[in-house]
Chain A
Amino acid sequence: MEAVRIRLENISKKFIHRLKGEVSAVDQVSLHVQPGEFLTLLGPSGCGKTTTLRMVAGFERPDRGRIYIGEEDVTDLMVNRRNIGFVFQNYALFPHLSVFENVAYGLRVKGMFKAEIEKSVGEVLTLVGLKGYERQFPHQLSGGEQQRVALARAVVIQPRVLLFDEPLSNLDAKLRVYMRSEIRRLQKALSITAVYVTHDQEEAMAISDHIAVMNEGKIIQIGTAEELYLCPESPFVAQFIGKINLLPAEVKEITEEKVMLRIFKQNYRVSKGPHHFERGERVNVFVRPETIELVKAVDEDSLKASVMERSFLGEKVDYLLELDGHTIYATSYDPLRHGTFSLHQEVGVRFNPDAITILKEVEK
């Protein structure tokens, strides 16, 4: 089957919350997912990502806006007529049916012949690595196995789109990493358009073609993992994707492509990006912890700081530093090579000018 596009046009949804009254869960969201693309909705709890996904599935109906799967307007179509595959956070396996019957359920609903059903179920169970588990019941399976049954059950009906609602959040850390590459592999192999919901930025970055970052019912920014990490358009995205240090800076000089910023007591020549500046203007910049270089001896290129906390994590050491009354996160990789610093030790902090990003509203 050919992959289809998904289009959300200005969809909004309100709910009545028991305490807060009327709440806008999703607010005028528009989104285009290309055929065969893997798109992730990423955001903190309550940002509207699950509600958006559930509207695509048809579990909720938007108050406003239209939803298209392929060229078809499915806004008023019941879930069971949309031909989607949905994977739930808690798997939602039918507890009274065996693995085989769970996977066969959608095919039986379609009224397929017995032989066809057996063939399809067999194939898809092989695909997810659960051949031989046909007669087991859900409560006899581990979390990861249940997850794979849920996956098999969703793909066996050859859905037009695959929808995932935080499918890995109930698994332990190692299995989560393994299963996400399994999901990606399966989606590629079947070339089905997929929408995936998670609050875990690392998972989102690992699995997606594109990520839509959501907050308070709105999409804040859409892009690839790299784009979001390197060029966040708002402090929210910068803070949500990876860790940052948000620092105050003052514009000292402006040239063609660069701008001279004073951060603490040092000057840095930083790329201007799409922004306009005025001399003396105060702006915010952010610096990722891993781009900060720590040196033993404080010299004129570095700023004096002292170590407040340190966490040795094996491949890296996380530091919390105090610099001129500010708290700075710094990460030092490969501690054997670079050496480590002890608590309360004085260190020199060097910012890499190429890794300083200016946060400023883009003027249009």
Chain B
Amino acid sequence: MSAPTVELNPSNRLRNLLRDPLLLVSLIILWSLLILFILLPLIRLFIRTFEEGGHFTLSNILAILGDPNQRQALWNSLLLGCLVGLCGTALGFLFAFTAVRTNLSKAWTFFLDVSIILPLISPPFTTAIAMIFSFGPRGLITYDLLGIKNFTAYGLHSTLFSETITYFPIAYLTLKAIIAGIDPNIEDMAFSLGSSRWRVFRTVTLPLTVPGLANSILLLFAASLADFATPLILAGNSFPVLPTQAYLQITGLFDIKGGAVLSFILLVPAFLVFFLQRFWVSRKYYVTISGKVGAKTQVKSVPSWTKYFLLGLCLFISAFILYFYVLLFYASIVQAFGANFQLTWKHYRVVFTEGLKAIRDTLIIAGAGMPLGGIYSVILGYLVCKKVFFSRQAMEIVSMINYALPGTIVGIAYLLFFNEPPILLTGTAIIIIACYVFRYGPTGIRTTVAILQQIDPSIEEASFSLGAGSATTFSRITLPLILPAFFAGLGVVFIRSMTAISATIFLISINWTLITVRILEKMTELELGVAAAFSILVVFIVFIVITAISLFLRLFRQPGAPEMASILGG
């Protein structure tokens, strides 16, 4: 018998809160942080957009929309987002289906996983740099291999290609979980009713994946909409998009207001996607897990020739991704890629001399953000999942805002709000750390909630019945069980602190700078070798840290604790 969970009596709710002072204190602290670091900056951005001389006005927005250039940028952003959503999801589905449904051997799965993880742990413009090396004016493929002299590597096609390669792993992770969740017994059932393989795929497997596909398209659309590094390098003048326009408005023309208004326009589609995903797609999921585990069955939905065809396709793309990284590494150890292929360490020398401050700053910021982000996400995830209190749903939604919004908006909102009293944080490390914690903490929150939902509530009740209070129950029972989520939170905040740029490019200062910003500077100064060396360094550091966290987790994993699916999931 399932115990109903909704407490009807409001006085009981209040009583619960007063009887649990720890909960009350946590709520006050969390809400203060959420208001300060999420709501107030956004409100500031809002005011800046709609206010002129103390009055409400639409003139700022209308001015932007009236400018054909900016209208084009808006249209381009939406077009690019849609295309990346479709292409990336198709590619992600190909990989996920191949990985889950073709009985691949462990070695093949591992190979696919590695090539998929690389784009996830790289700075967002790594593929963009490799694109230039391959298809640029002196590109390895276009110039050296094919001999094409006037191929243009800038524009929609290359931005689309680069973003698809960068973001399809997100689609892969989303879809893999969903396809793996479809009980093969259901497919067996369709076979037993006389369906052919193609019919089973068309009428059973694919329809069950549709909500996942929709979700993946939305995720990739949002990622593309938010990406400003790739278009900055690859889109060129002929294909302006909103985030880059906002960036150039602020850094090039020192027009903060114009940048704010531009980023505000970006907010509309971003919010639309967020709510579509949250309130529509998330309700469309089919539950195919039926409590009882069915008999184990061999997946037989794919004939062997299809299997090798799919595998071949995946291998081709994986090989291409690996080629990009090899190329990047190669470019970092030659004099000048495309002109002088003599081996040298000089790019790395630059990295470790004049780049040392950026490395140190980035590591300090990532190192400080990591535990803070982990603690924040575990506590917030625990409260919204396990406790009944007033404003619970509001807290969950607010905590997701900075995650859902394009980094450009978050960065400009922070720039506006923390640049003046009462809270002057510009130029400090705190502003960058806070940005990362509240922007990337939600991944940890989601993992925490997912794990907590697997833990039966009676386990905590058992602890209470044995005389333990909330604090003891949390520290002795719940915390050990959600440790994997804590580490996932740590991992994600660290990776993003090492690789993100879209929000924090507005927040760096003379005192605190970041590796990713240095890479961008080197790109614009056309010191591509140094940019490549920096990128390789970032991938290397992130790879080491992820491996360490995974090992640590395996070593200290409590027996019986839920398995962590993937540190990068979500």
Residues on B with C-beta less than 8 A from A86 are: 461-462, 465
Asked if B472 is at the interface of the complex by the 8 Å CB criterion, the answer is yes
Closest A residue, CB atoms, query B562 = A95
Answer whether A94 and B462 are a contact pair too, CB < 8 Å, given A16-B8, A137-B559.
yes
CB of B9 within 8 A of CB of A63, answer yes
Residues on A with C-beta less than 8 A from B461 are: 57, 59, 79, 86, 88, 92
Q: Which of B1-35 contact A (CB under 8 A)?
A: 1, 3-4, 6, 8-9, 12, 15, 19
Q: CA separation between A63 and B10, bound complex, in Å? A: 10
Residues on A with C-beta less than 8 A from B1 are: 45-46, 49-50, 166
Answer whether A78 and B4 are a contact pair too, CB < 8 Å, given A96-B561, A105-B466, A109-B466.
no
Asked if A157 is at the interface of the complex by the 8 Å CB criterion, the answer is yes
Distance in Å: Cβ of A234 to nearest Cβ of chain B:
22
Distance in Å: Cβ of B485 to nearest Cβ of chain A:
14
Q: CA separation between A49 and B469, bound complex, in Å? A: 26
Q: CA separation between A154 and B467, bound complex, in Å? A: 11
Asked if A17 is at the interface of the complex by the 8 Å CB criterion, the answer is yes
Closest A residue, CB atoms, query B455 = A95
Asked if A40 is at the interface of the complex by the 8 Å CB criterion, the answer is no
Besides A96-B480, A154-B466, 4 other A-B contacts (C-beta < 8 A): A51-B4, A80-B466, A95-B561, A96-B559
Closest A residue, CB atoms, query B461 = A59
Asked if B342 is at the interface of the complex by the 8 Å CB criterion, the answer is no
Asked if A25 is at the interface of the complex by the 8 Å CB criterion, the answer is yes
CB of B559 within 8 A of CB of A139, answer yes
Q: Which of A44-81 contact B (CB under 8 A)?
A: 45-46, 49-51, 54, 57-61, 63, 76, 78-81
Contact code string B411-432 (vs A, CB < 8 Å = 1, else 0): 0000000000000000000000
Residues on A with C-beta less than 8 A from B466 are: 80, 105-106, 109, 153-154, 157
Residues on B with C-beta less than 8 A from A217 are: none
Contact code string A86-98 (vs B, CB < 8 Å = 1, else 0): 1011101111100
Asked if A30 is at the interface of the complex by the 8 Å CB criterion, the answer is no
Answer whether A139 and B464 are a contact pair too, CB < 8 Å, given A50-B1, A63-B9, A96-B480.
no
Distance in Å: Cβ of A297 to nearest Cβ of chain B:
50
Asked if B303 is at the interface of the complex by the 8 Å CB criterion, the answer is no
CB of B464 within 8 A of CB of A79, answer yes
Which of A14, A22, A78, A83 has its CB near the most chain B CB atoms (within 10 A)? A78
Answer whether A14 and B462 are a contact pair too, CB < 8 Å, given A80-B468, A95-B559, A95-B560.
no
Q: CA separation between A49 and B1, bound complex, in Å? A: 10
Asked if A15 is at the interface of the complex by the 8 Å CB criterion, the answer is yes
CB of B458 within 8 A of CB of A105, answer no
Q: CA separation between A93 and B560, bound complex, in Å? A: 11
Residues on B with C-beta less than 8 A from A213 are: none
Answer whether A88 and B3 are a contact pair too, CB < 8 Å, given A63-B9, A139-B559.
no
Answer whether A84 and B9 are a contact pair too, CB < 8 Å, given A90-B458, A94-B477.
no
A-B contact pairs, 18 of them (CB 8 A): A14-B8, A15-B8, A17-B4, A50-B1, A50-B3, A58-B464, A61-B12, A85-B465, A86-B461, A93-B459, A93-B462, A94-B459, A95-B459, A96-B481, A105-B468, A154-B465, A154-B466, A157-B467
Using a CB–CB cutoff of 8 Å, the interface residues on chain B facing chain A are 1, 3-4, 6, 8-9, 12, 15, 19, 456, 458-459, 461-469, 472, 476-477, 480-481, 558-561
Contact code string A9-25 (vs B, CB < 8 Å = 1, else 0): 00000111100001101
CB of B464 within 8 A of CB of A51, answer no
Distance in Å: Cβ of A52 to nearest Cβ of chain B:
11
Asked if A289 is at the interface of the complex by the 8 Å CB criterion, the answer is no
Q: CA separation between A138 and B558, bound complex, in Å? A: 12
Interface size class of A (residues with CB under 8 A): 35 or more
Q: Which of A120-163 contact B (CB under 8 A)?
A: 137-139, 153-154, 157
Distance in Å: Cβ of A364 to nearest Cβ of chain B:
34
Could you tell me the dominant secondary structure of chain A's interface residues?
mixed
Closest B residue, CB atoms, query A78 = B19
Q: CA separation between A15 and B461, bound complex, in Å? A: 19
Q: CA separation between A153 and B466, bound complex, in Å? A: 8
Answer whether A109 and B472 are a contact pair too, CB < 8 Å, given A50-B1, A95-B561, A137-B560.
yes
Asked if A110 is at the interface of the complex by the 8 Å CB criterion, the answer is yes
Q: CA separation between A88 and B15, bound complex, in Å? A: 26
CB of A80 within 8 A of CB of B469, answer yes
Contact code string A215-246 (vs B, CB < 8 Å = 1, else 0): 00000000000000000000000000000000
Residues on B with C-beta less than 8 A from A49 are: 1
Q: CA separation between A153 and B456, bound complex, in Å? A: 18
CB of B558 within 8 A of CB of A63, answer no
Contact of B481 among A22, A51, A95, A105 (CB under 8 A): A95
CB of B465 within 8 A of CB of A84, answer yes
Closest B residue, CB atoms, query A61 = B12
CB of B458 within 8 A of CB of A88, answer yes
Residues on B with C-beta less than 8 A from A23 are: 4
Q: CA separation between A151 and B19, bound complex, in Å? A: 29
Q: CA separation between A205 and B456, bound complex, in Å? A: 30
Contact of A79 among B8, B465, B560 (CB under 8 A): B465
Closest A residue, CB atoms, query B19 = A78
Residues on A with C-beta less than 8 A from B8 are: 14-16, 22, 63
Closest B residue, CB atoms, query A25 = B4
Distance in Å: Cβ of A151 to nearest Cβ of chain B:
12
CB of B467 within 8 A of CB of A92, answer no
CB of A92 within 8 A of CB of B480, answer no
CB of B468 within 8 A of CB of A139, answer no
Contact code string A320-340 (vs B, CB < 8 Å = 1, else 0): 000000000000000000000
| In the complex, the 7 A-B pairs of residues with the closest C-beta atoms, listed nearest first | A95-B560, A106-B466, A96-B558, A15-B4, A92-B458, A86-B465, A92-B462
Residues on B with C-beta less than 8 A from A139 are: 559-560
Q: CA separation between A268 and B568, bound complex, in Å? A: 79
Distance in Å: Cβ of B200 to nearest Cβ of chain A:
34
Residues on B with C-beta less than 8 A from A106 are: 466-468
Contact of A16 among B6, B15, B558, B559 (CB under 8 A): B6
CB of B458 within 8 A of CB of A109, answer no
Answer whether A15 and B458 are a contact pair too, CB < 8 Å, given A61-B12, A86-B465.
no
Residues on B with C-beta less than 8 A from A157 are: 466-467
Closest A residue, CB atoms, query B480 = A96
Which of B3, B12, B472 has its CB near the most chain A CB atoms (within 10 A)? B3
Distance in Å: Cβ of B357 to nearest Cβ of chain A:
43
Q: CA separation between A86 and B3, bound complex, in Å? A: 15
Residues on A with C-beta less than 8 A from B465 are: 57, 79-80, 84-86, 154
Closest B residue, CB atoms, query A159 = B465
Contact of B463 among A45, A89, A105, A137 (CB under 8 A): A105
Residues on B with C-beta less than 8 A from A78 are: 19, 464, 469
Q: CA separation between A171 and B468, bound complex, in Å? A: 28
Residues on A with C-beta less than 8 A from B464 are: 58-59, 78-80
Residues on A with C-beta less than 8 A from B458 are: 88-90, 92
Residues on A with C-beta less than 8 A from B480 are: 96
Q: CA separation between A337 and B8, bound complex, in Å? A: 60
Closest A residue, CB atoms, query B12 = A61
Distance in Å: Cβ of A138 to nearest Cβ of chain B:
6
Residues on B with C-beta less than 8 A from A83 are: 467
Residues on B with C-beta less than 8 A from A76 are: 15
